[in-house]
Chains A and B, each alone.
Chain A
Amino acid sequence: MLIDRKKEKVLAIITAPVMLIAIGMIFFYVPQMKGNAGEILDSSFKIFYFHLPIAMVSYLAFTVVFIASIMHLKGNSSKWDIVAHSAAEVGVVFAFLVLVTGSIWAKATWGWYWIWEPRLTTSLALFLVYLAYLMLRQALEEPEKRARLAAVFGIVGFISVPLSFLSIRLWRSAHPLMFGGSSYGSSGGGLEGTSLQLTLAVNMLAFALLFASLLVYRINNEALKEELEEMKYNHS
């Protein structure tokens, strides 16, 4: 199960510079953003370069939980349970960061920290589902049973997320729009120009790498813990 120590290190060593480059690009490379009418947008827009990749990573993490849960129920090996658990933990952290960066951005552009906007609300629902997932794990003592029941919840929880998004969108569109659709309608309202796209791409890569290294570290941690328990058990 243990992923090669060397690979783990290599991954971390690659991640660090890419992350630095990504941050550097946001502050020094991207030109000043201009809105639709040509006005210079607030520099708060820069948070978008974090916000979107973080959101993507949290979706990715929960997809991993979903797949690992199915694999666990099919094959009943603790390996997949460790993957699901690790991905859920990393995912919850990122889902929380989505809410934080989203609120900061919302405050700067719209003047509110929170609005009941479909994507924001879905992120909240997502965060709550996986917080519940982690709580369920805590409430179960026996490893085999914990893995099995958590996998069931990992599957059902993941399925509810797109439905949440649909229902929230339905809910909000029934009310008058509080803000112009363009400010959050498309991915950031007119993201054009290669420099912007490049910066976004590098940030995506950086966060994907960050996710991969965190996940691998977490899995290795868990695998070591297993091994330790095993040794304790055999010793007693």
Chain B
Amino acid sequence: MKKSLYIAAKDLRSEFRTKQMLNSMLIFSLIVIVIFSISFGDVLSQTELVEKLAPGVLWVAFTFAGTLGLSRSFAGEMENGCLEGLKLSPIDRSSIYIGKTISNAILMFIVELLTIPIFIVLFNYNISGIPGLALVIFLGTFGFVSVGTLLSALSASTRAREIMLPVLLLPLIIPVIIPAVMATGTILTDGGIGSIASELRLLVVYDLIFFVVGQLVFEYTVMD
């Protein structure tokens, strides 16, 4: 477990040095928000409509930016044979998975944290219920990343990996995106945490199942 944290720290340290991935994720999510803002320009004055659109727009931005980041997560590890270097060291394969999941999740949280203010400005929208929203975003993102990290490792060894990842990932994250969008919607329309209990439960179940299954099958994705 400690070694996973070291791996995550290593990833974040090299990422913050170049900020390559972080910047492209951020710009991408910004572009998604801008495009939605332009195409919904006429209705932005009607708060009720914005309220209906907001959760979908936010999660589309998060998902796309996240997919972009994930597609590079293992590609970087392939340079200089670093993944092999990790495999040569006396650690469990699953600690590589856990470490990568943590670093990917943290990168996504940063992007999400910066996307939301932009969204507020461009959609003239006032966000309420921040703690509930944070919880939903945390659970949704963690589920997304636990599947995404596994599939990132899996698609890293396929032909045309950049295309392969979204094709594999998007059908599998339906069960995490739907409750996340719903719960976000309820929170934004002043619902308390109590009113999204069933969504939260589903998110927790999804997160647990895929985090555990991911650890179990990860070693098969990085075998030689």
Closest B residue to A150 by beta carbon equals: B154
Does A108 sit within 8 A of B, measured CB to CB? no
Report the minimal beta-carbon distance from A45 to chain B, rounded to whole angstroms.
30
A156 and B210 form a contact (CB under 8 A) = yes
Expressed in whole angstroms, the Cα–Cα distance for A135 and B171 within the complex equals 13
Are A170 and B168 in contact, with the CB atoms below 8 A?
A: no
Chain B residues with CB below 8 A from A125, complex form: 171, 174
Complex-state Cα separation, A140 to B164, whole angstroms: 11
How far apart sit A129 and B150, CA to CA, in the bound complex (Å)?
A: 15
**CB–CB B172/A129 < 8 A:** yes
Q: Give bound CA distance, A153 to B171, whole Å.
A: 12
- Within B131-185, the residues touching A (CB, 8 Å) are 147, 150-151, 154-155, 157-160, 164, 167-168, 170-172, 174-176, 178-179, 182
- Minimum Cβ distance to chain B for residue A134 (Å): 10
| Contact of A156 with B150 in the complex, beta carbons under 8 Å | yes
Among the listed stretches A4-12, A19-27, A158-166, A215-223, which one makes contact with chain B, having 4 or more residues with CB under 8 Å of it? A158-166
In contact, B209 and A149 (Cβ under 8 angstroms): no
**Nearest chain B CB to A167 CB, angstrom units:** 4
* Chain A, residue nearest B180 (CB): A167
Interface residues of B in 188-214 (CB under 8 A from A): 198-199, 202, 205-206, 209-210, 213-214
Q: Looking at the complex, which one of B160, B170, B176, B182 makes contact with A170 (CB distance below 8 Å)?
A: B182
Contact assessment for B206 and A153 in the assembled complex, using a CB-CB cutoff below 8 Å: no
Selected contact of A163 from candidates B155, B157, B202, CB within 8 Å = B202
Interface residues of B in 16-70 (CB under 8 A from A): none
Contacting B205 at CB < 8 Å: which of A129, A155, A163, A164?
A163
Query: Is A170 a contact partner of B154 (Cβ separation < 8 A)?
Result: no
- A153 touching B154, Cβ below 8 Å: yes
> Does A128 lie within 8 Å of B217, measured CB to CB?
no
A110 at the interface (CB under 8 A from B): no
- Across the interface, B164 reaches (CB within 8 A) one of A73, A139, A160, namely A139
B164 touching A136 by the CB < 8 A rule? yes
Interface flag for A33 (CB, 8 Å): no
Residue of A nearest to B160 (CB): A139
Number of B residues, CB within 8 Å of A: 34
Is B182 in contact with A160, judged by CB distance below 8 angstroms?
no
A interface, how many residues as a size bin?
A: 20 to 34
A166 to B209, CA, bound (A): 14
Contact of A174 among B150, B155, B176, B182 (CB under 8 A): B182
A151 contacts the other chain (CB 8 A): yes
A67: Cβ under 8 A from any B Cβ = no
- A118-140 residues at the B interface, CB under 8 angstroms: 125, 128-129, 131-132, 135-136, 139-140
Please determine whether A149 and B154 come into contact, CB atoms closer than 8 angstroms.
yes
Q: Which single member of A131, A141, A155 contacts B159 (CB below 8 Å)?
A: A141
Tell me whether B174 and A156 are in contact (CB under 8 A): no
Q: Which residue of A lies closest to B172 (CB)?
A: A160
CA distance A192 to B107 in the complex (A): 56
In the complex, A157→B147 CA distance in Å?
10
A34 interface contact, C-beta 8 A:
no
* Complex: A147 Cα to B155 Cα, angstroms: 14
Across-interface contacts of A164 in B (CB, < 8 A)? 174-175
The 6 closest A-B pairs by CB, nearest first: A163-B175, A128-B171, A139-B158, A167-B178, A167-B175, A129-B171
- Contact (A140, B220) CB under 8 Å given A149-B154, A159-B209: no
Query: Complex: how many Å from CA A78 to CA B48?
Result: 56
Task: Decide yes or no: A170 and B157 within 8 Å by CB, A136-B164, A160-B175 being known contacts.
Answer: no
Given contacts A132-B168, A149-B221, A152-B220, whether A160 and B174 have CB atoms under 8 Å apart is yes
B221 / chain A contacts, CB cutoff of 8 Å: 148-149, 152
A170 to B196, CA, bound (A): 11
Residue A168 interfacial (CB < 8 Å): yes
Contacts of A73 in B (CB 8 A): 217, 220
